[in-house]
Amino acid sequence: MSTKIKNPSQLSEKQQSMIGADLLVEALIREGVEHVFAYPGGASMEMHQSLVKRESDIQTILPRFEQGGGFMAAGYARATGKAGVCMATSGPGATNLVTCIADSNMDSVPLIAITGQVPQHLIGKSAFQETDIYGMTLSAVKHSFLVLEPQDIPKVVKQAFHIATTGRPGPVLIDIPKDVQQTAAVGNFDEEIGLPGYNPLKKSSDKDLSEVLELISESRQPVLYAGGGVITSNAADELYKFVKQTGVPVATTLMGVGAYPETDDLSMKWFGMHGTATGNYAVANSDLLLAFGARFDDRITGNVRKFAEKAQIVHIDIDRSEHHKNKVVQYPIQSDIKYALARMLELMTEKKFKAPDLSKWHERIAKWKKEFPFTYQKSEHIMPQEAMEVLYELTEGEAILTTGVGQHQMWAPQYYNFKHPRSFLSSLGLGTMGFGYPAALGAKVAFPNREVIDIDGDGSFLMNIQELATAKVEGIGAKVMILNNQHLGMVVQWEDRFYEGVRAQTILGDPNNIGSPANMDAIYPNYVEIAQGFGVKARQVFKKEDLRDAIQEMLDHYGPYLLDVIVPYDEHVLPMIPSGRTVADMILSPDQQVKLEKGSGL
Amino acid sequence: MKHTISVLVENKFGVLARVAGMFSGRGFNIHSLNVAPIHDRSLSRVTVVAVGDDFVLDQIIKQLNKLVNVIRVIGFKRGEAVERELLLAKIAANSENRSEIIQICDIFRAKIINVHTDSMILEITGDEGKVRAFLDMIEQFEVLELSRTGKLALERAKINPPDAS
């Protein structure tokens, strides 16, 4: 958490009174906030007026849809680990943030959502643009506040940032009625945080950690299952040292992508439904599974009862409610992952830790890797996987990628090897289509000198396409590479596998004249013209021989850019472990049939 | 299986909604729920009787502990707490059966707190078994209206607070 204080207002030092909206902006600046993604309206315009007064200290970026602003803030937060701040007006402005709040809750993202509310005397009167956003979001926030007095604002902001960014991070809503924004009060910025029911500092005992080290020493086929918690607690360096000293191979979750360099020999990339066969085989055959900062999500475990059946499981998580929630384990340990890893490294020296001999296990894993790499059939057309391979090559794996939701969301991390944490930003828990481009804008605002590219599907991208305007007008150089197959590809894949190929609202263009690399005239919509309408440079590519040049052109361009890559729609994401099944049912090749009941799974 | 859970919370706007919402949002069943401020007016005690197996109870306690406004959660094991419930029942009563009802109340140490020409209001306090037995007895008369607090509970001896988490 950044606590940098930049030019705190002189007024507050003298304890002079300010209106609530000014108090809010002052408090945000004191929290080190440099960017706010905010869309104004009747009940929030007072706060925008205050933001303008302080525009040399805090930059306000106008999205073209509140949800876009919410995902920009979330992308910013995911890329930096700092709180991302979005703001909207009451009623529809606030409800448009709900998806972003729920999304951040699922993926433990420190999002601060500030909403204007109708004046207090109108609350409960069904006033214009009134909605009970506090009540509506209760089940999707880490915490929330309805501010009733302007003098409470400094303390509320301090508490909100503390709650959002510490422990297991999450979204915090601050709802501020317009009269509170407009009433003057003396704010006390030095007040204690004072949250008696909130203690985010969790450290495991040496006894527990020593036991884990003993288990590792005795293990023959251990696997480290690293989740988003490793990234959240900024423990990638500790994890690297830990893995190097123990020799335990790593398979991450998608939230954990980048927690361990995927180019390293001990990395099995990521596992789960569409992850590496190697990772899935290794976990299934492990005798010791070290789950660090992970939550046994159904997309990871498949049939949770049969997941890692042969293994003793150590589950280290800062959130105790994750223990035994989905999977009952032998060794639940509550701790911050960074602390646990750092302390185990110390204990290794103190207790003369003996690394197990894993040479046979490493050999077996190497064999799986060789035998079951991610693979696809080359075609005369550009394959989506191929586009990712070329992008990886040309960016040398150094870009920040965001995604929408669907097939492209799987292909992107399959064919791109991440070396750094916070480089793959994706809506993984909630699975929100439309997440990719605004999240890329947020990440680009945080890291203007890094290449930030949204890998998107034509379905997902359309859901927040209006943010091309934000990119252009605000001068944010985030790029988008659409893997355009004219379908909702992942649903099509499930239709093919489980519904005999019946297309039920999964074709995005004219169903009687479906666009494809072989039928370019039917491609719909024309993304290049749309981008041009927004003033964003764009190019379409459908010939294999043009792919590399087109991606290079995108990378060379300074500023936002849209690359529309036309790909065939009949490609499936493989491997695939059908929902609720086990590694034994993993589909590895396109013609492999797995007998499943129609409509099975989720 | 029923579990009695005592939750000490900050007496703040929306806390009850958070507690109740946690139960509905995660699919846990509430049998009864009682909430009121305690001697320290900044705090309230919520007593919940929930239905589920031991894993459900474990999750309920952990999820409640996650709520920022929750100070402490205790899941009582059998015998660890004294438990009471208060029940008010309005039953149809006339001069013919009034004395029989009074006799039943005497046996159960229930009180008669209102009498009308054709009804009476009875009050009883007790643990689950006693309240149940009383209810069984008075159901032979016509119960017009019934209201009960749900269970209240306090630990018998001072229990060391578990880590607030």
Q: Residue B74 is part of which domain span? A: 2-78
- Judged on CB neighbours under 10 Å (0-12, 13-18, 19+), A190 is exposed
Whether the per-residue pLDDT at B162 is higher than 90: the answer is no
CB < 8 Å to B65, chain A: 320-321
Q: How far is A512 from chain B (nearest CA, A)?
A: 43
Whole-number Å distance between alpha carbons of B9 and B163: 15
pLDDT of res. A593:
72
- Asked whether residue B133 falls in the same domain as residue B119, the answer is yes
Residue B155 falls inside a structural domain: no
Q: How far is A163 from chain B (nearest CA, A)?
A: 8
pLDDT of res. A600:
56
pLDDT of res. A16:
77
- Alpha helix (H) residue ranges in A457-581: 458-463, 467-474, 489-498, 527-533, 547-556
Residue B58 falls inside a structural domain: yes
Tokens 């906030």: give the residue: A33
**What pLDDT digit, counting tens, does each position of B73-119 carry?**
999 988 899 999 999 999 999 999 999 999 999 999 999 999 999 99
Q: How far is B56 from chain A (nearest CA, A)?
A: 9
Q: Which of A42, A38, A34 is CA-nearest to residue A62?
A: A38
pLDDT of res. A6:
53
- Asked whether residue B58 falls in the same domain as residue B96, the answer is no
Q: How far apart are the first and last CA of chain B?
A: 25
Average pLDDT score, chain A? 96
- Asked whether residue B34 falls in the same domain as residue B61, the answer is yes
User: CB contact, 8 Å: A30 with chain B?
Assistant: no
pLDDT of res. B165:
41
CB < 8 Å to B63, chain A: 321
Cβ-contact A162, A103 below 8 angstroms = no
Where does a domain end: B63, B78, B93? B78
Q: What percent of chain A has pLDDT over 90?
A: 95
Q: Which of A62, A73, A159 is CA-nearest to residue A467?
A: A62
Q: Which of A163, A202, A324 minimises the CB distance to B55?
A: A324
Chain B residues at the A interface, defined by Cβ less than 8 Å, are 9-10, 13-14, 17-18, 21-22, 25, 55, 58-59, 62-63, 65-72, 163-165
Q: Of all helices (H) and strands (E), which one includes residue A251? A: strand A250-252
Cβ-contact A58, A4 below 8 angstroms = no
pLDDT of res. A594:
67
Check CB contact under 8 Å for A135 and B68. no
Check CB contact under 8 Å for A163 and B68. yes
Residue B157 falls inside a structural domain: no
Residue from A142, A321, A335 to probe the interface with B (highest B Cβ count within 10 Å): A321
Contacts of A522 (CB under 8 A, 6+ apart): A486, A509, A510, A513, A514, A515, A516
Q: How many domains does one find in chain B?
A: 2
CB < 8 Å to B17, chain A: 135, 138
Q: What is the CATH number of the domain that holds B117?
A: 3.30.70.1150
pLDDT of res. A317:
98
Residue B163 falls inside a structural domain: no
Whether the per-residue pLDDT at A597 is higher than 70: the answer is no
Catalytic positions of A: 66, 128-129, 178, 490
Where does a domain end: B78, B98, B130? B78
CB neighbourhood size of A149 (10 A):
11
Where does a domain end: B78, B112, B136? B78
Tokens 């001068």: give the residue: A475
Is pTM beyond 0.90? Reply is yes
Q: How far is B5 from chain A (nearest CA, A)?
A: 16
Confidence of residue A596 (pLDDT cuts 50, 70, 90): low
Whether the per-residue pLDDT at B157 is higher than 60: the answer is yes
Count of pairs with CB atoms under 8 A, one residue in A, one in B: 53
pLDDT of res. A558:
97
CB neighbourhood size of B1 (10 A):
9
Check CB contact under 8 Å for B165 and A199. yes
Which value, in Å, is the radius of gyration of the alpha carbons in chain A? Answer: 25
- Asked whether residue B62 falls in the same domain as residue B17, the answer is yes
Tokens 């009952």: give the residue: A328
Residue from A105, A120, A136, A138 to probe the interface with B (highest B Cβ count within 10 Å): A138
pLDDT of res. A3:
46
Q: What is the CATH number of the domain that holds B47?
A: 3.30.70.260
The interface predicted TM-score of the complex, written ipTM, equals 0.90
- Asked whether residue B95 falls in the same domain as residue B30, the answer is no
**What pLDDT digit, counting tens, does each position of B87-100 carry?**
999 999 999 999 99
